[in-house]
Amino acid sequence: GAVVSQHPSRVICKSGTSVKIECRSLDFQATTMFWYRQFPKKSLMLMATSNEGSKATYEQGVEKDKFLINHASLTLSTLTVTSAHPEDSSFYICSATGRGTGTAYGYTFGSGTRLTVV
Amino acid sequence: AQKVTQAQTEISVVEKEDVTLDCVYETRDTTYYLFWYKQPPSGELVFLIRRNSFDEQNEISGRYSWNFQKSTSSFNFTITASQVVDSAVYFCALRINQAGTALIFGKGTTLSVSS
């Protein structure tokens, strides 16, 4: 079935540094990638939607200059948290849909990245 | 606008009890899709089921069953004879029938099953 590989699974970084999270679709073409953020014991909040080759569409309240999303190819999308601060600590998870996806009606989730900013 | 409500924040049961997780959705679209996901402590989302709006048949998969009722806009999930391994956060989600749209998640229900 469809698989999305998300790396890293955990990352600790210092305040002020940038962190890049990658999501790769391993056996299908991810035409659309969704990025979610999840606070502890909270729901998944959609941050942005990106279509391959286009600029990402951000949800209201999400700073696009802080959360840079790149979706330059059909198999790779990245989320870069720039100048990270402790309040950016969270669980980030990607979800891809596109051509050749599996049984979950085209929504394949990565395994998530737990970001801790110290 | 679309919305998913999971009114139960936390549920605690003892092993072998049956438990039902409620999900109520809102959408004006006539074609839409409903999902349930399980999120164990490790964090990954495990797909459980997808239902489209035209298929109101209830579904059973082992100890899991789902009751979809359009009349009440509900898509409830029942675990029969719960087990400790069922302990997780369960999310109900909705997607409208438009290409490239994201899933809209409910707030989730944390299920704790004790032995």
pLDDT of B54-111, one tens digit each? Answer: 988 888 999 999 999 999 999 999 999 999 999 999 999 999 887 778 999 999 999 9
Average pLDDT over residues A37-49: 92
Instruction: Enumerate helices (H) and strands (E) in chain A, giving the number of each.
Output: 0, 11
* Best of A33, A36, A43, A103 to mutate (most B CBs within 10 Å, chain B): A43
Cβ B26 vs Cβ B2: under 8 Å: yes
Percent helix, strand and coil across chain A, each to the nearest 5: 5, 55, 40
Nearest to B102 among A34, A112, A114 (CB): A34
Cβ neighbours of B105 in A, within 8 Å = 43-44
pLDDT of residue A2: 82
Q: CA end-to-end span of chain B, whole Å?
A: 41
| Residues B102, A103: C-beta atoms closer than 8 Å | no
Give the span between the Cα atoms of B88 and B113, in whole angstroms. 9
Give the pLDDT band of residue A100 (cuts 50, 70, 90): low
How many angstroms away from the CA of A14 is the closest CA of chain B?
23
pLDDT of A44-81, one tens digit each? Answer: 999 999 988 888 999 999 999 999 999 989 899 999 99
Give the span between the Cα atoms of B75 and B23, in whole angstroms. 5
How many angstroms away from the CA of B6 is the closest CA of chain A?
10
